[in-house]
Chain A
Amino acid sequence: MKGHNLLVRLVIPILALVLGGTLVFAILDLAAAPVDLRGMVAARMAVSGVTHPVTAVLLNFRGYDTLLEVAVLLLALLGILAVLRPVATTPVSRPGLPVLETLAGMAVPLMVLVAGYLLWAGAHRPGGAFQAGAVLAAAGVLLHLAGRLPAWVSPPMFLRLGLGFGFLVFLTVAALLLAEGALLRYPPAHAGVLILLIESGLTLSLGLILAGLYLVLAPPPRREDGGGEESGAP
């Protein structure tokens, strides 16, 4: 058994190195892409409703991908809520360190401001709903670490609505546009407004979902045999 393990520990790195070498060779040998996606995006920028190409791809040209991706995020959170067994007691927020608490008090309003800016900036420069949502989520995690925000045991109704809000806005826009002929093909005149509407909803929901991923996992796991705290173990 020991010798077998040693063999595996020797063989696997060698195989991994061979794979790495092959991949490096393949990348160096790769021909240029036959499709010029960059040119296609640049040619259609005028009708996209925004001026930043990444946002245009994300919410206009490939909006379908983004819609499904938000659904995947919701599913992941639902999966976590389903997998984790409910904690017996409501976790009380522990008092944080004074320095951390002061820092969080100063940083969180600024982070909300930055999130709003990133959301707005997404139309014409790097930024957008995902970055803004990530900053909001970080603000939530910071508040939890500072002891100002309790962990989620089971999200109440208004929180659940907030989690699904962005996806529902996105889905509603997609469904309404279906009447026009195709899923998520915005009329060029309203594309900018629709993208801003979707991104605003997404920012809120992504912030809640990403913060939720942390806040749901934050309470300590419950012992299955009901032993309680570690210190009480026999």
Chain B
Amino acid sequence: MTPGLIFALAGVGLFVLGLGGVILLAQSLRRILAFNLMGSGVFLVLVGLAQRDGNPDPVPQAMVLTGIVVAVAATALALALARQFGDREDA
């Protein structure tokens, strides 16, 4: 059990937690956060799996680096959409 493998398994945990949240939670803000959790889990799996033999692999790391920034931007867009159109009943 290398640290990389532990990271990947923790990533699975985050992904499943986030997936449950996306399905079960009602408010859009919570769902957006849960979706972010899923994304973080995927990043952790990508980086962790690639270095499960102990040596870091720069290719998935570069992909995850851009992925994090895109996730931030997508979250902001989702928040803007949620603020403008979501949860009308309690607005």
A87 close to B (CB within 8 Å): no
Query: Which single member of A20, A38, A62 contacts B16 (CB below 8 Å)?
Result: A20
Chain B's interface size range is 35 or more
Interface SS, B side: helix
Neighbouring A residues of B76 by C-beta, 8 Å: 76-77, 80, 213-214, 217
Neighbouring B residues of A133 by C-beta, 8 Å: 69
Q: Could you tell me if A32 and B53 are in contact, using CB atoms closer than 8 angstroms?
A: yes
Interface code A6-39, partner B: CB below 8 Å = 1, 0 otherwise?
Answer: 0011001100110110011001101011000110
Q: Which residues of A are in contact with B by a Cβ distance under 8 Å? A: 8-9, 12-13, 16-17, 19-20, 23-24, 27-28, 30, 32-33, 37-38, 41, 53-54, 56-58, 61-62, 65-66, 69, 72-73, 76-77, 79-80, 83-85, 128, 130, 133-134, 206, 209-210, 213-214, 216-217, 221
Query: Which single member of A30, A53, A69 contacts B58 (CB below 8 Å)?
Result: A53
Given contacts A62-B62, A209-B73, whether A84 and B84 have CB atoms under 8 Å apart is: yes
Interface code B49-89, partner A: CB below 8 Å = 1, 0 otherwise?
Answer: 11001010111011101101110111011011101100000
Neighbouring A residues of B61 by C-beta, 8 Å: 54, 57
Cα A134 to Cα B76 with chains together (Å): 14
B20 close to A (CB within 8 Å): yes
Interface SS, A side: helix
Instruction: Identify the closest chain A residue to B21 (Cβ).
Output: A16
Q: Could you tell me if A27 and B58 are in contact, using CB atoms closer than 8 angstroms?
A: no
Q: Could you tell me if B73 and A213 are in contact, using CB atoms closer than 8 angstroms?
A: yes
B37 close to A (CB within 8 Å): no
Q: Could you tell me if B83 and A27 are in contact, using CB atoms closer than 8 angstroms?
A: no
Q: Could you tell me if A73 and B84 are in contact, using CB atoms closer than 8 angstroms?
A: no
Q: Could you tell me if A37 and B66 are in contact, using CB atoms closer than 8 angstroms?
A: no
